[in-house]
Structure 1
Amino acid sequence: MYEGQFPKKRYKNTLRFLKEHVSTDQTILDLGVANPFTDIMKAEGYSVKNTTGEDLDLETDCVKAENYDVLTAFEIFEHLVSPFNVLNDCKAKKLVASVPLKLWFASAYQSKTDEWDRHYHEFEDWQFDWLLEKAGWIIKKRIKITHPVKKIGFRPILRRFTPRYYLVYAERAR
C-alpha cells in the first residue's frame, strides 16, 4: 500500500515490526521531533505524539507522563550522552526502539557542524540489551537490518551483508 513512498528500506521494516507489537488503539510517544516516519505511523492509524526537541539528557519530564502506552525511539538513543535516563524514567509499558550498530569497517558518525546530529554511541547489540535490562525492560523480540547503499566500493559491498540497525521490542519489567 505504501510501496515506493518509503524513503528508506528501514521504514518498511520498522513499520512491519511496529505493527507486529503495537496495536492502533495504543497511544505512542515518539522520541524526537515529527519526521517522515511519524507521518507514516499516523497514516497507518496510530495516535502519535512527538517530543519537541528538548535535550533529553537533561529534561526527561516528557517521558514521565502516564498518558501514553508505548514509547518509540527510532535512531534517537545514539544522540544522547545518557540514554539510560530516558529509558529509566519512562512510564510506558512497551518500547519499540532502533539504534545504529557499531560497524567494524566504518567509524562512528560525527557531525562537526550540527550539535544535535552527533552520535555519542553506536551500539553492539549486547550493549543495547544491557542498557535496556538495567533500565527495567525485558526484551521480547529483536531483529537486525542491513542498510545497503547504491555506491561502488568495499564498504558498500559489506553494507549489503552486515547489519546496520538493531530493532527491539521490550516490555516494562516493573
Structure 2
Amino acid sequence: MYENTYPSKRYKNTLDFLQKHISKKETILDLGVSNPFSDLMKQNGYVVCNTGGEDLDLEFSRVSNGTEEVVTAFEIFEHMVAPYNVLKAIKAKKIVVSVPLNLWFAPAYRNKSDLWDRHYHEFEAWQFDWLLEKAGWHIKDSHQFTNPVKKLGIRPLLRLFTPRYYLVYAERN
C-alpha cells in the first residue's frame, strides 16, 4: 500500500485520520502541488485537486474561490510566514491538516540551499489549535504521533516516544 521510499508510518496515520473524517463523496482541495500523498488519496478513492504552486502567504484566491468541500494541508503551514491568512480565507467548511510539532531537543528544519525547504514554524499543539480557532475553525478531532528514525543516539531514542506530527480535523459554520 505504501512504497518503501515514502514515509509509511506518517502516510498510514494521515490516511487513517482522513478516512475517519472525510467521505470519498466529498471533493478535496489539497494545498501544495501534486505530491505522493495526494496521489495516495486519489488511489484510495478521493477526488483531489491541488493548488498550483502559488505562494500561499500572498495568493489565496484558489482557496477562497474554490468549490471543493474539504481542504487538506499536510506539512504545509510550517513553511509559511503567515498561515493565518490562508486559513482565514478558506471557503470550504472542513479541513484536515497536519504540522510537525516543535521538538525541544531538535532545532527547526532548515535547508540552507533551498529558500522554500525550511520551517518558519514548528508548533506546539496548543499553538496550532489557537491559530485554527483564531482563523474561525472549530477543532473536532486531533491526533499526535511519533516518527522514530533508524539511527543511534539520544535524539533518535527521544523520537521513539516524543510525538513529532499533529493531525487536526476542524470545521467552520
- TM score, norm. by length of structure 1: 0.96
Q: Aligned residue for 2:33?
A: 33
Kindly indicate whether residue 1 of structure 2 is the aligned counterpart of residue 7 of structure 1: no
* Match of residue 159 from structure 1: 159
Give the aligned partner of residue 148 of structure 2.
148
Q: Which amino acid aligns with 2:137?
A: W
Q: Which amino acid aligns with 1:101?
A: L
Contact 1:26 1:70 in 2 (8 A): yes
Which string of whole-angstrom CA distances, capped at 9 and with x for unpartnered residues, describes residues 17-55 of structure 1? 000000111000000111110111000110000111100
Matches within 5 A, 1:23-172: 23-172=23-172
* Aligned-pair CA distance for 1:112: 1.0
Call closer, same or farther: CA 1:96–1:146 in 2, change over 3 Å: same
- In structure 2, do the counterparts of structure 1 residues 50 and 147 end up closer, same or farther at CA, with 3 Å as the change threshold? same
CA contact (8 A) 1:147 1:160 kept: yes
**Equivalent AA in structure 2 for residue 64 of structure 1:** S
State the number of aligned residues: 172
Unaligned runs of 5+ in 2: none
SS for the counterpart of 2:62 is helix
In 2, Cα distance between equivalents of 1:117 and 1:32: 13
Q: 2: distance between equivalents of 1:86 and 1:25?
A: 24
In the TM superposition, structure 1's runs of 4+ consecutive aligned residues that sit over 4 Å from their partners are 3-6
Structure 2 distance, partners of 1:69, 1:106, is: 36
Q: Which moved more, 1:148-157 or 1:110-119?
A: 110-119
Q: Secondary structure at the match of 2:167?
A: strand
Contact (CA 8 Å) 1:6, 1:12: kept in 2 or not? no
Distance in 2 (alpha carbons) for counterparts of 1:143 and 1:105: 21
Q: Over residues 142-168 of structure 1, what are the superposed CA-to-partner deviations in whole Å (9 max), with x where a residue is unaligned?
A: 010100000011100000100000000
Give 1:6 shift. 7.4
Q: How much identity, in percent, do the aligned residues show?
A: 66
For residue 89 of structure 1, what is the amino acid of its counterpart?
A: A
Matched residues in 2 for 1:96 and 1:63: separation?
Answer: 14
* Distance apart, 1:3 and its partner CA: 5.5
- Give the alignment's TM-score, normalised by structure 2: 0.96
Unaligned runs of 5+ in 1: none
